[in-house]
Amino acid sequence: MVEFFRKLDSGLIGLLNIIVIVTSLAITGLILFLVAARYFLGWSVVGVLELATLSAIWLYMCGAVVAARNHQHLVVDFLSLSLTNPRTKALHTFAVSLVMVVLSLFFLSLASDMVAWSMKRPQTTAALSIPLIIPQSAVVLAAIFCGVYAVRDAVAAGFSVFGRASSNTGRTDPWKRFSAFFF
Amino acid sequence: MEALFGILLLMALMIFGVPVAWSFAGVLMFLVWAYDVNTATLLLQGYRSLDSVILLALPLFVLAGYLMQSGGVAARLISFMSMMMRGRKGGLGAALIGSSGVFGAISGTATAAVASIGTIMGDPLAARGYPRGYTSAMLGVSSLLGILIPPSITLILFGVVTRQSITALFAATIVPGLLLMVGLMIFNKIATARMLVDTPERLAAIKAQKSPHGPMRATIQAAPALMMPVVILGGIYGGVFTPTEAAAVALFMAILIGFFIYRDLTLSRFRQSLVEAGETTGTIILILLFSFMIGRIMVAESVPQELTEAVTQVSENKILILILVNAFLIFVGMIMDDLSVTVVIAPLMMPLMMHHGVDPVHYASIVACSVVIGANSPPVAPILYMACRIGKVSIHEAIKPALQIIFYVALPVMLMVTFVPELSLFVPRLLGLH
């Protein structure tokens, strides 16, 4: 089961990395094309900025998920650095991760409200008539996966607090601890 | 009252260690509950604010910063600056400040400057007798020149949130940025005159670090890197391209220089930079998404107007209010990160400032100066902590020099910027942007 989660995770992160790379290059290329078309060809190309912002939304949201997965979100670590007792530190991590699970669920509920509204009143972009649900689905994806990683971290942190200290289920790999908890 | 509790909750969540983006989500959840907000279109409104062409400059400048780091631009700039300042006591310290200034004129972030300049210059400065605590403190403050000298990601975010012209904001902080740079150089000159003693080890380090190729080679090597700020700023203020387009051009130049001129950029480094820049952008954007929604609720509930009325009831004295706002921004900056100050706290006080005749562009300069102080002031001090990690020194050794630099340089610059509006408004007016 650990292997299954790990493979799922590495497949997902590989896919997200590809989206991040492709969208970054797409935004750069599209904006450069816009500048070049204006100055060298005298063209005013319609819809390029729409494509660039659409790519940007996917970049923003996939970047946010990658950061959540790698624990790269900006943290004020003043308190955690001042805690020296390992048990207190583990309890603190667990408490923070529980707060994050609650907040991720809140984000998810906002996302579901957005989807419901967009289904009721479908909208498209002005120039290229691209359905807005395409960029909006990136936000939904971010809400889902931020939630998944928050649950993973909470379970892993919970296991560090309540699990056996000498457990051979692994103390550093969150997926190992997650799997050991549930299966 | 609910808004005040929201700000206190934000501080509490951050200090507790909840990631900044999720601390914002916590405040949003509280405000939704407290004001009984209909959430049917709340995220949709946040999404619409993200769907912005101006905001496209953010990922592009972030990525340009990463590519300059991995493409060898920073190394050439430092080599050039060191050569320019050679032969003077404290010259390498001045080179650190100058490099931060030029790097800021290309990348617009403080973290990229800390990481690249700190990694390259930390050990040579230590070998020349600079205490590591002093180096980290100086690096922490001077890296924030990137926030003042355009292009600046902080100002892009402030401009997007408050709907101000990014070009005018960029122009407004040029003079404050130069003032801070000169102030830091003077401080470094005075401090190093007392601090550096010509021990045999220091003299040996100076001799060993002399470049065999001389100033001409360093200048030629740095020329492509030095061209970048000329193209970016010249392009923006020459009316050739918008800040977003300038960011794409900067990125394109960083790729060309890294791959074909310096040849330090490999495909794997390029890929790594793209992913890391995506992560950084995602982190900032999630904060921005929640802050947009918080801003919507606060505006709908007339919180900025209530704040203006409450403060105006206490005093109508503009000078007193400016001092209070300065003190509040510094205090908030001490316990929150710079992004939170820029996208939530500062916009809240915008109506108050406008009520007292402070120009929004001038106010942006004040906010940027407060970020310089807040990002280096304990207990949170994110940039100072990062500079200490890279400088291999304990934060305790850097706090005293950091506070000295803030007290003697950054704070006077902030006060000058606050009480002499022309320092911020002169360049935008000169360029016809304001």
Residue A125, CA distances (Å) to A70, B13, B240 in order = 33, 38, 27
Q: How far is A28 from chain B (nearest CA, A)?
A: 5
Cβ <8 Å between B282 and A136 = no
Cβ <8 Å between A64 and B283 = yes
Average pLDDT for A127-152:
93
> What is the DSSP code string of chain A?
-HHHHHHHHHHHHHHHHHHHHHHHHHHHHHHHHHHHIIIII----TTHHHHHHHHHHHHHHHHHHHHHHTT-S----HHHHH---HHHHHHHHHHHHHHHHHHHHHHHHHHHHHHHHHHHS--B-TTT--BTHHHHHHHHHHHHHHHHHHHHHHHHHHHHHHS-TT-TT-SS-HHHHHHHHH-
Residue B10, CA distances (Å) to A175, B6, B95, B283 in order = 30, 6, 39, 17
For residue B355, how many other CB atoms are within 10 A of its CB? 17
Average pLDDT for A37-41:
88
Report which of residues A95 and B216 the model is more confident about. Answer: A95
Of the candidates A17, A49, A13, the residue with the CA atom closest to the CA atom of residue A127? A49
What is the DSSP code (8-state) at residue B343? Answer: I
B294: Cβ–Cβ under 8 A, 6 or more apart, which residues?
B6, B24, B27, B28, B31, B344
Smallest Cβ distance to A24: which of B15, B41, B274? B274
Which residues of chain B register pLDDT less than 70? 87, 205-214
Alpha carbon distance, N-terminus to C-terminus of chain A: 7
Per-residue HEC secondary structure of B28-62 comes to HHHHHHHCCCCCCCHHHHHHHHHCCCHHHHHHHHH
For residue B279, how many other CB atoms are within 10 A of its CB? 25
Smallest Cβ distance to B44: which of A35, A72, A114? A114
pLDDT value at residue B227? 86
The encoded tokens of residue A15 equal 């896919």
pLDDT value at residue A168? 47
Of the candidates B94, B68, B70, the residue with the CA atom closest to the CA atom of residue B83? B94
B342 touches A at CB < 8 Å? no
pLDDT value at residue A169? 45
For residue A29, how many other CB atoms are within 10 A of its CB? 16
Cβ <8 Å between A77 and B17 = yes
Band (A164; pLDDT cuts 50, 70, 90): low
By the 8 A CB rule, do A126 and B51 touch? no
The encoded tokens of residue B221 equal 């090597």
By the 8 A CB rule, do B434 and B361 touch? yes
Residue of B nearest to A136 (CA): B47
What is this model's ipTM? 0.89
pLDDT tens-digit profile of A172-182?
567 666 666 55
Of the candidates B228, B229, B247, B237, the residue with the CA atom closest to the CA atom of residue B53? B247
pLDDT value at residue B389? 80
Cβ <8 Å between A59 and B245 = no
Q: What is the pTM of this model?
A: 0.84
Q: Which ranges of B196-317 does DSSP label H, i.e. alpha helix?
A: 200-208, 214-237, 243-256, 267-300, 303-314
pLDDT value at residue B84? 80
pLDDT value at residue A76? 77
- Please state at what angle helix B91-107 crosses helix B132-143, rounded to 10 degrees: 30
H-helix or E-strand containing B180? Answer: helix B174-195
Smallest Cβ distance to A17: which of B16, B275, B335? B275
Residues in a beta bridge with A124: A131
pLDDT value at residue A138? 95
pLDDT value at residue A167? 46
pLDDT value at residue B405? 95
Cβ <8 Å between B20 and A75 = yes
Smallest Cβ distance to A78: which of B40, B275, B380? B380
For residue B220, how many other CB atoms are within 10 A of its CB? 12
Residue A122, preceding peptide bond in cis (omega within 30° of 0): no
Of the candidates B339, B236, B314, the residue with the CA atom closest to the CA atom of residue B24? B339
A157, pLDDT greater than 50: yes
**For residue B251, which residues of chain A lie inside 8 Å, CB to CB?**
28
- φ, ψ for residue B337, nearest 5 deg: -80, 165
Question: Helix-strand-coil percent breakdown of chain B, rounded to 5?
Answer: 80, 0, 20
